[in-house]
Amino acid sequence: MDSYDGPNADLEQGKKDVVTRRVFLKSAGRLGAILAVGSAAIALDAAAQTAQMPASSPTSSPAPAPTLPGPVVPNAAVIAEKDPVMKVLTERPLTANVTAENLSDAVTPTNRLFIRNNLLTPELQEAGHTLTIKGLVDKPMTLTFDDLKKTFPAVTVQGMLECAGSGRTAFSPLPKGTPWNPSGGYGCPRWTGARLREILKAAGVKSGAVHVAFFGADFGELPTAPPVARSIPMSKALEPNTLVAWAINGEPLPKVHGFPLRMMVPGWVGSASTKWLVGIEVLDAPFKGTYMDDSYRVPAHPVAPGEKMPKESVSTEAWPVKSVITAPAPGAKFKIGDSIAVAGKAWAGENSITKVEISLDEGVSWTRATLAKPGDKYAWRLFSYTVQPRRQGYMTILARATDSKGIVQPIVATWNPLGYFWNGIHRVGVTVEKA
Amino acid sequence: MACLSLLLATGGLLIPPLSAGQQQAEKLMDAPGADLVRSKCTLCHDLGNITRIRQTREEWEDTLKTMIRRGAPITPADETIIVDYLTKYYGK
């Protein structure tokens, strides 16, 4: 597997890359057969789905799985490493998450961190893995995984990772995309890696550089699938919490979370945090590609629900202010006189949290929750509140956060055609019984 | 290869079963064009990505164009059949 060409491939030149991969595979002989087993296992998922189709679809057999350019981790092996509370939302591409009440830990355990792939989960090796830095730099370079760890100081930060579409199913009408449940696809683990700015400093950024693009080694079923590549503005690339990360919660990254190397751009939409990182390119403009131009965009000016994306749109960057209630769980039962411990998390992209309020009357009145001490710049802020119910029956608990710019979490998020940035007020219902 | 993958699949590596809701979402309206949609679109994503939503013809056309940019092997002739099908059964 050492000669697997993914990590070293010139990822901008998709076609050339595909040719290289194919030539490699032809000469790989037995290895090719092993790789193809991975792809056949995936095709089997499709076959299983086909089996559920009505018998009146005579030609519904899945298309033959093309030969893949490298080994793939089967979805089932990915999910086997996760907590049983994790729910698979889509199998291809693989997406999975847990609901808010399962995210009560101050630091998100790795086995509860959401999964959002765009393509397949590549099986990469740490040995021989390289990271290429090129574009508008004085010294283009290719670093091995070991070089990277030895050359640059390791930094650990707790930071938010949240899919742009987190909470999408709360939008009405439902936009296209991963059907994240209203409590979303987000987590706040501890990440360890090198500061991107140190790497860029070593390479020497030339004048005229405005964006930095990241390239992942993941590939799709189709050899024609372009690489997942996106760019971020230089200001965010140089932000000290933006990391080229190799560890999560003190352990090597799990395969599905980008092993052996990924970007960590905390507070921004998850797609900025490219997994399976193999390339960094300094550019004089935002990267052009389908993952920049066709998705991860919102209208420049709000549109009515159900409208299509207008010509004027902007790339998604930092998340807006948001909070979730992690306790109690929806449907929990209490007795009159009990103390209900309400707890949750609030975060605000580039801003910090200044206030979280709780309402027990559907938003008519609000009372301040207690905020825990702030942690790292891009970590969520914990809040807590105690309720002693005096009446029996169904009761709702609402939380809303306010950030350092004075922006208050809205009742309903601004609708947009691709369903990004759901940050509507979270609401949990419980039942109070007689003492 | 099929035997090998079957072994893999029966070796405890199967994906958790789809929930009832997901299974519902995976069904395509059986009509001319459905087979084409199934064979082309599921190369990269679940059918649920289609069946969950409703779009106008223009929106489906845009979606197809994006998918082609993402490598979907869809010929112009296929594109017409697929857009017609999706507009008719998953239109708004």
Weakest mean pLDDT among A51-65, A224-238, A282-296, A358-372? A51-65
Q: pTM of the full predicted structure? A: 0.83
- Is residue A368 within 8 A of residue A355, CB to CB? The reply is yes
Residues of B in contact with A93 (CB under 8 A): 44-45
Residues of B in contact with A91 (CB under 8 A): 15, 46
Answer yes or no: do B49 and A176 touch at CB < 8 A: yes
Q: How far is CA A254 from the centre of its chain?
A: 14
Provide the edge-to-edge strand list for the sheet that holds A95-97: A87-90, A95-97, A115-116
Question: What pLDDT is recorded for position A54?
Answer: 35
Distance from CA of A46 to the nearest CA of B (A): 8
Question: What are the residue boundaries of the structural domains of chain B, listed by start?
Answer: 27-92
Q: How far is CA A235 from CA A26, A46, A239, B52, in A?
A: 44, 43, 6, 38
Answer yes or no: do A294 and B9 touch at CB < 8 A: no
Distance from CA of A381 to the nearest CA of B (A): 33
Residues of B in contact with A223 (CB under 8 A): 71
Answer yes or no: do A40 and B55 touch at CB < 8 A: no
Question: What pLDDT is recorded for position A6?
Answer: 34
Rounded to 10 deg, the angle between the B57-69 and B76-89 helix axes is 140
Work out the pLDDT band at A142, boundaries 50, 70, 90.
very high
Answer yes or no: do A221 and B58 touch at CB < 8 A: no
CATH number of A322-433: 2.60.40.650
Answer yes or no: do B13 and A76 touch at CB < 8 A: yes
Distance from CA of B81 to the nearest CA of A (A): 16
Weakest mean pLDDT among A23-27, A382-386, B69-73? A23-27
Question: What are the residue boundaries of the structural domains of chain A, listed by start?
Answer: 6-295, 322-433
ipTM of the complex: 0.72
- Is residue A121 within 8 A of residue A257, CB to CB? The reply is no
The single-letter code of the amino acid at A53 is M
Weakest mean pLDDT among A300-309, A363-372, B8-17? B8-17
Q: What angle do CA A22, A24, A29 make, to 5 degrees?
A: 105
Q: How far apart are the first and last CA of chain B?
A: 43
Residues of A in contact with B47 (CB under 8 A): 49
Distance from CA of A400 to the nearest CA of B (A): 29
Nearest to A76 among B15, B18, B59 (CB): B15
Kindly state the tokens that stand for A101. 């009440």
Spelled out in words, what is the top-level CATH class assigned to the domain A6-295?
Answer: alpha beta
Q: 10 Å Cβ neighbour count for B24?
A: 11
Distance from CA of A425 to the nearest CA of B (A): 24
- Is residue A188 within 8 A of residue A273, CB to CB? The reply is no
Answer yes or no: do B8 and A74 touch at CB < 8 A: yes
| Coil, strand or helix at A329 | coil
Residues of A in contact with B18 (CB under 8 A): 49
CATH of B27-92, one of 1.10.10.10, 1.10.760.10, 3.40.50.620, 3.40.1550.10: 1.10.760.10
The single-letter code of the amino acid at A333 is K
Question: Which element (helix H / strand E) includes A357?
Answer: strand A353-359
Question: What pLDDT is recorded for position A435?
Answer: 87
Kindly state the tokens that stand for A103. 């995210």
Answer yes or no: do B46 and A90 touch at CB < 8 A: yes
Closest CA to A131 of A270, A18, A25, A246: A246
Q: 10 Å Cβ neighbour count for A362?
A: 9
- Is residue A241 within 8 A of residue A157, CB to CB? The reply is yes
- Is residue A112 within 8 A of residue A102, CB to CB? The reply is yes
Answer yes or no: do A37 and B38 touch at CB < 8 A: no
**CA pair distance A273, A193, nearest whole angstrom:** 13
Among chain A residues, CA nearest to B48: A90
- Give me the long-range contacts of B72-76 (CB less than 8 A, separation at least 24): B72/A222, B72/A224, B72/B40, B72/B41, B72/B43, B72/B44, B73/A222, B73/A224, B73/B40, B73/B43, B74/B40
Q: Which of A44, A95, A303, A309 to mutate: most B Cβ within 10 Å?
A: A44
Question: What pLDDT is recorded for position A184?
Answer: 79
Closest CA to A63 of B87, B39, B79: B39
Q: How far is CA A343 from CA A303, A334, A386, A395, in A?
A: 34, 16, 9, 16
Q: Could you read off the pLDDT of B14-65 as tens digits, one per residue?
A: 334 444 444 445 689 999 999 999 999 999 999 999 999 999 999 999 999 9
Residue A334 pLDDT more than 70? Answer: yes
Among chain B residues, CA nearest to A56: B30
Q: Give the strand pairing for A426-433 and A333-335.
A: parallel
Among chain B residues, CA nearest to A53: B27
Residues of B in contact with A77 (CB under 8 A): 13
Q: Could you read off the pLDDT of A168-227 as tens digits, one per residue?
A: 999 999 998 888 887 779 999 999 999 999 999 999 999 999 999 999 999 998 888 898
